[in-house]
Structure 1
Amino acid sequence: MSSQVEIILNRIYVKAAEKKATELYIIPAQMPFIRVDGEMQVLTGESILSISFINALIPVFLTREEQDVLKKEKQIDVVRKIGKLGNSQLSIYFQKGNLSLRIKLLPSEIKGLDSLGLPNVIEKFTHILRGLVLITGPRDSGRSTLAISLLDCINKNQAKFISTVEQPIKSVLGEAKSVVEQREVGRDVNSFLSALSYIRKRNADVVMVSRVDDAAVFKEIFAIAEAGSLVFAIMDTTSSLKTIKRILHFFPVSEKENIRYLLSENLAGIISCRLVPRIGGGRIRALEILSATAAVKTIISNGRFHQLNSVLQSSEGETAVSMDQYLADLVSSGEVTVKEAVKHCIDEELFRALLRR
């Protein structure tokens, strides 16, 4: 990297970090853009970036093998350190025939569960011996942060064998009480399915999967959970009910009854995440939490999914809390505005009714 390109990139990156940006976009013939508290904005004080500037970054960030992948696939995701501020996830891709970059600024250290302001029920998921915990939400909702914090809690407090399958590895678990292996799809193993099949043959106590998007992967996850492992898996769904319906949608009608049974037998809980703009700046987590109690397992087994809403709304918070109730509590405590909460609620009518109580 030429010194001039390095100076420019480091300056842009430091400015983005100082503004507490979570993402930085470098697109040819445009000024840099950043995402702050979920909103896009121009990074002021910077010039329009040239195609040659972006092209000069590629051989620095990518190995020859990764450059070959980029040339073939036209896109690639990697994690790299930029300057002295820690790791970032780089999405490098073509658009309009030219290279562009999206840089996701990753936390410099793993956040402890106690620093995330979570309900006590979340920590209880780290003590489950076997089962499936699904961590869901839209992009930029704090799913990955929560997942790695749960693993970090286990790593620091329990002697376990932890195995992860990620694409890419965003945070590295340090040495503590557990044995940890983190495998990156594309670098350490060819696919999620292959990695999970290998895990199933071994004696992993805790497993984490950063993406689940097909039936074959889910079948491996069920098999691993049934064999006695605690599995954390990340999905793109936005609520407990939609998560269960999405899982069933992966499978043909002929298998749905069996999948309901596997879910009812192996599900330990679902945690759905949001990051909501906070009054005064920054963002705060809002969660929907569904623990797989005996009642929840029966509902899933019988396919009476609409009853899950009643469970979420009637629980006192020890085993479940609805997203609408969580948001209503944040509004009542002065953390977020009604306007912002409405954007993230599941049922606006119910949410507003909860505010009037």
Structure 2
Amino acid sequence: MLGAGVEAKASDVHLHAGGALKQRRIGELVVVEEQIEPALVERLVAASLSAEQRALLAHEGELDYCFDLPGIGRFRANAYRQQRGLDAVFRSIPDRPPTLEELGLPEELKKYTDYHQGMVLITGPAGCGKSATLAALVNHINENRDDHILTVEDPIEIVHPSKRCLVNQRHAGHHTKSFSRALRAALREDPDIIVIGELRDLETISLAMTAAETGHFVLATLHTANAVRTVNRMIGAFPSNEQDQVRAMLSESLRAVISQRLVPTSDGQGRVPALEMLVINRAIGNLIRDQKTIQIRSSMQTGKAHGMYLLEQSLNDLVAKGRITREVALSLAEEQKLITAGA
């Protein structure tokens, strides 16, 4: 089943107990088999788990994990109990770190790996390629710097062998009890770069900001729709009486927000990334500090000289090149009036 998914270039394979086997192709779910028996799902999931993981799934009712199938590939999986039995979703992930070129991402992103202190965030909705972009940036650092990279992930998706850098990857909940515990320990483990698979909660966000403020370069992902909402989400995670201090910290430590979507191509054969870039220069830092984040979008729209642009500007470029249709661009735009290409 998973081999067939890889051959079909499906990003995900869904096993639904007593229901259909589906593949997600180019963002859309496609039925492959009308019905699969609950017992078959149980067997397939059990075969991909260690004894420890099987016990954890039985106790918790859900489990995130990664595994390798020799000759087929590497997968990130989520198994969970529901009314009819056990369901599972398997996502195909690269067996080696991708490059920015392979992902169709611009060369300009490489400059956001040159920092030695501060934080760069990769954001977007679920399934938009954040993990792959993060892995490509980490791989670029690994090939071009002589540093210690420490990652905290749940689970470890793409494996990074040490190249020029020393790379240590920690699985929260396995190698360490939690994200927060791993991040506290990280500050004593002499890392130059701390990579956080996902900023999930207040404690993780707070520790990431502290790390960025204390001389570390932090790379992380966050589930937010665009760059401005990312800034507001970071601030809003804290109690109101702490938010002024958080604004000041973010204005100093946040370096850039790379917000992305994966957009269906006009030929229907794949998806292409569309980006939104926020670079925190002095002017943007002042807007964050002074509670004027509502003005950031207009600064991004006119900030091309500083490396900034809105998602709509990226969509316009893709429409003009014939990579995507105007209709798709309009469906993704926050401000449809900004989609001028193809009119």
Superposition TM-score tier, normalisation by shorter sequence? over 0.9
Paired residues, number: 342
Task: Using structure 1 for the length normalisation, give the TM-score.
Answer: 0.92
Distance in 2, Cα, partners of 1:347 & 1:166: 35
What is residue 355 of structure 1 aligned with on the other side?
Answer: 341
What one-letter code is carried by the residue in structure 1 that aligns with 2:341?
A: L
Kept after mapping to 2: 8 A contact 1:200/1:220: no
In the TM superposition, residue 65 of structure 1 has moved relative to its aligned partner by: 1.9
Distance in 2, Cα, partners of 1:59 & 1:26: 13
Residue number among 279, 282, 289 corresponding to 1:291 in the alignment = 279
What one-letter code is carried by the residue in structure 2 that aligns with 1:249?
A: G
In the TM superposition, residue 32 of structure 1 has moved relative to its aligned partner by: 1.2
User: For residues 309 and 16 of structure 1, do their structure 2 counterparts lie closer, same or farther at Cα, with a shift above 3 Å needed?
Assistant: same
Classify the secondary structure of the residue corresponding to 1:320: coil
In the TM superposition, residue 47 of structure 1 has moved relative to its aligned partner by: 6.3
Structure 2 unaligned runs (5+)?
A: none
What is residue 16 of structure 1 aligned with on the other side?
Answer: 5
Distance in 2, Cα, partners of 1:102 & 1:38: 14
Structure 1 unaligned runs (5+)?
A: 1-11
In the TM superposition, residue 119 of structure 1 has moved relative to its aligned partner by: 2.8
User: For residues 101 and 317 of structure 1, do their structure 2 counterparts lie closer, same or farther at Cα, with a shift above 3 Å needed?
Assistant: farther
**Root-mean-square deviation over aligned CA pairs:** 1.5
Residue number among 145, 159, 182 corresponding to 1:158 in the alignment = 145
Query: Is 1:197 aligned to residue 184 of structure 2?
Result: yes
In the TM superposition, residue 273 of structure 1 has moved relative to its aligned partner by: 0.9
What is residue 31 of structure 1 aligned with on the other side?
Answer: 20
Within 5 A, what are the aligned runs for 1:1-357?
12-43=1-32, 46=33, 48-280=35-267, 281-316=269-304, 318-351=306-339, 354-355=340-341
Identity of aligned residues (%): 29
Distance in 2, Cα, partners of 1:274 & 1:288: 9
In the TM superposition, residue 356 of structure 1 has moved relative to its aligned partner by: 7.2
User: For residues 202 and 83 of structure 1, do their structure 2 counterparts lie closer, same or farther at Cα, with a shift above 3 Å needed?
Assistant: closer
Distance in 2, Cα, partners of 1:96 & 1:163: 39
Distance in 2, Cα, partners of 1:87 & 1:356: 40
Distance in 2, Cα, partners of 1:322 & 1:331: 15
In the TM superposition, residue 30 of structure 1 has moved relative to its aligned partner by: 2.5
In the TM superposition, residue 115 of structure 1 has moved relative to its aligned partner by: 2.6
Classify the secondary structure of the residue corresponding to 1:321: coil
Kept after mapping to 1: 8 A contact 2:326/2:341: no
Classify the secondary structure of the residue corresponding to 1:41: strand
Kept after mapping to 2: 8 A contact 1:160/1:179: yes
Kept after mapping to 2: 8 A contact 1:28/1:54: yes
In the TM superposition, residue 57 of structure 1 has moved relative to its aligned partner by: 2.4
Distance in 2, Cα, partners of 1:73 & 1:348: 44
Runs of 4 or more, structure 1, over 6 Å off, are none
Distance in 2, Cα, partners of 1:202 & 1:79: 25
Classify the secondary structure of the residue corresponding to 2:56: helix
In the TM superposition, residue 318 of structure 1 has moved relative to its aligned partner by: 4.3
Classify the secondary structure of the residue corresponding to 2:101: helix
User: For residues 87 and 254 of structure 1, do their structure 2 counterparts lie closer, same or farther at Cα, with a shift above 3 Å needed?
Assistant: same
What one-letter code is carried by the residue in structure 2 that aligns with 1:316?
A: K
What is residue 8 of structure 1 aligned with on the other side?
Answer: none
Task: Using structure 2 for the length normalisation, give the TM-score.
Answer: 0.96
Distance in 2, Cα, partners of 1:83 & 1:116: 24
What one-letter code is carried by the residue in structure 1 that aligns with 2:182?
A: A
What one-letter code is carried by the residue in structure 1 that aligns with 2:107?
A: N
In the TM superposition, residue 97 of structure 1 has moved relative to its aligned partner by: 4.1
In the TM superposition, residue 64 of structure 1 has moved relative to its aligned partner by: 2.1
